[in-house]
Amino acid sequence: MSSTTIPPKNAPEAGVDPRAGSASVPIGEDNELIRTAAKTTRDLNTPKPAIYWADFLASVTAGYGSLLGAIFSQSTSLAIFLGFIAVLALYRAGSFIHELTHVRRNALPGFHFAWNALFGVPMLIPSFMYEGIHSIHHRTKKYGTAEDPEYLPLALMKPWSVPLFVIVASLAPVALLFRYAILSPLSAIIPPLRRIVVERYSGLIINPEFRRKPPEGDLKRRWLACEIGASIWAIALISMVATGVIPMRAFLIYLSVLSASVVLNQIRTLVAHLWENDGQEMSVTAQYLDSVNVPPPATLPALWAPVGLRYHALHHLLPGVPYHSLGEAHRRIAAELPRESNFYRADHDSLWTLIVGLVRGSGGRN
């Protein structure tokens, strides 16, 4: 992966404590950064339906086509290659779940339904697993605290926490099958179990202490519809495998592709933030600096951080900007701010340097 030119991470900068990034040092607001970001991107907040539909449909078509090719291929090497393509394409299709939580439903008519019908339910990751969860992560007073479902201070934890974080993700397909084929129907008739399922097994979270509240309003209706669909599919899938309708080889390839996609997303999550906050409330600027951009000229982030996720720090600063406009937003802000600005401190050059930094950070604190 190629590098991008950024200021040294340890260089002192105007108005910022040189220890910025340490969990014990509060970081105040950089009002110039916030104002400039808002001013230069006002016209970029409107999602373009044609881009969303074309991107998602192309991704899901390539993903399922490659998955079927891997299943029916008589060549092991070809099956592995097609499986790899399926992982990348389905991972990209799945990444649109992040957009669903930020884009108003009326701005993309039918897109939420199509995503669930074509990906969420078949892959056993319906959108309710993220809707109502991810928004908490963006609340200024919740980010990085014990109430944030998507935050763990990994840089402050034991070194083995980092590989364990990824290994656990590989078991997701089996856990999801169990959740929808067994727990969903049982919880429908056992109220105490239902409470546990809703609180602990109905969200894409990484904070094990987080407990989800029961859904309300329109989300409750959509949740029920998606959960019924996912439950029927999970039960049917297991039944077809048990009766030989679906060969075990095909089932294992399906599970492997799903597992690899989840692991890839978990690795991407691992480097989405610096994970250095110890539970204190953080300013918007501090949240930005605790998050990660991997802008061009690096090219591989287009694969491991698709659908705008390579601009995760910028997304935390401008959550209303759709994924297809984040690159332009980054270029505009960079053109307005001097090189000593905090803006550049969230830019990093590669996945590898981020992982190494995280592992070294956790090792150095324990």
Range of the domain at 216: 28-39+47-366
Is 93 a member of any domain?
Answer: yes
What is the C-alpha separation between 303 and 59, in angstroms, rounded? Answer: 12
Is 123 a member of any domain?
Answer: yes
Tokens of 339: 């090189």
Backbone phi, then psi, for 271, in 5-degree steps? -115, 15
> DSSP character for 143?
T
117-172 confidence digits (pLDDT tens): 999 999 999 999 999 999 999 998 999 999 999 999 988 888 888 888 899 999 99
Cβ atoms of residues 163 and 157 within 8 Å: no
Asked whether the CA dihedral 105, 109, 111, 114 is positive or negative, the reply is: positive
User: Helix, strand or coil for residue 54?
Assistant: helix
Contacts of 185-192 with C-beta under 8 Å, sequence gap 24+, read 185/231, 185/235
Q: For the chain, list residues with pLDDT below 50.
A: 1-24, 366
Is 328 a member of any domain?
Answer: yes
pLDDT score at 7? 36
Cβ atoms of residues 221 and 228 within 8 Å: no
Task: Please name the residue that has the structure tokens 């970081």.
Answer: 27
Tokens of 11: 């260089």
Is 352 a member of any domain?
Answer: yes
Q: Which residues contact 203 (CB under 8 A, 6 or more apart)?
A: 129, 130, 133, 149, 210, 212
> DSSP character for 117?
I
What is the C-alpha separation between 112 and 299, in angstroms, rounded? Answer: 29
Is 316 a member of any domain?
Answer: yes
Q: How many domains does the chain contain in total?
A: 1
What is the C-alpha separation between 217 and 215, in angstroms, rounded? Answer: 7
Is 4 a member of any domain?
Answer: no
pLDDT score at 151? 95
What is the C-alpha separation between 127 and 204, in angstroms, rounded? Answer: 10
Helices (H), 73-110: 76-94, 96-100
What is the C-alpha separation between 166 and 299, in angstroms, rounded? Answer: 23
What is the C-alpha separation between 303 and 315, in angstroms, rounded? Answer: 18
User: Helix, strand or coil for residue 277?
Assistant: coil
What is the C-alpha separation between 212 and 311, in angstroms, rounded? Answer: 27
pLDDT score at 206? 93
Residue 3, amino acid: S
**Which residues is 311 bridged to in the sheet?**
293
pLDDT score at 356? 81
Is 3 a member of any domain?
Answer: no
Q: Report the predicted TM-score, pTM, of the whole model to 2 decimal places.
A: 0.90
